């Protein structure tokens, strides 16, 4: 999961994200599913995040292989560069409830 804070220029962020970043990120080997969750609000106050992205792999081994790829390094550098509101990377294992 990638959690993006509110960018300094949301319109520019959205444009760069969809035109440049998504194609870069989808080149990572083993990407099974790529979901972008645009935050639209919170129960109280301003949401802590602007956008949360879920990149799904078959398993943790597939994720590890992807992270070692040139495409992953390029995508990561690009994400950090464009994340003017901050960025957090998390690794998670899903479990159906």
Residues ≥6 apart with Cβ < 8 Å to 88: 2, 3
Specify the number of domains making up the chain.
Answer: 1
pLDDT category of residue 87 using cuts at 50, 70 and 90: very high
The confidence score (pLDDT) of residue 22 equals 95
CATH of residue 21: 3.30.70.100
Would residue 12 count as lying in a domain?
Answer: yes
Would residue 33 count as lying in a domain?
Answer: yes
pLDDT category of residue 4 using cuts at 50, 70 and 90: very high
Q: Which domain holds residue 12?
A: 2-89
Would residue 95 count as lying in a domain?
Answer: no
Would residue 94 count as lying in a domain?
Answer: no
In this model, does residue 95 exceed pLDDT 90?
no
pLDDT category of residue 94 using cuts at 50, 70 and 90: confident
pLDDT category of residue 93 using cuts at 50, 70 and 90: confident
Residues ≥6 apart with Cβ < 8 Å to 35: 53, 54, 55, 56
Element (H, E) at 38: strand 33-38
Q: Return the higher-pLDDT residue of 93 and 18.
A: 18
* Residue labelled with tokens 């956008």: 51
């Amino acid at each position: 999961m990638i959690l993006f804070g509110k960018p300094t220029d949301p319109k520019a962020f959205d444009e760069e994200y969809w035109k440049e970043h998504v194609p870069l990120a989808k080149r990572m080997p083993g990407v099974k599913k790529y979901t972008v969750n645009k935050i639209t609000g919170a129960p109280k106050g301003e949401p802590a995040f602007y956008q949360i992205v879920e990149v799904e792999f078959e398993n943790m081994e597939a994720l590890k292989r992807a992270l070692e790829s040139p495409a992953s390094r390029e995508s990561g550098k690009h994400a950090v560069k464009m994340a003017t509101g901050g960025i957090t990377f998390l690794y998670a294992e899903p479990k159906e409830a």
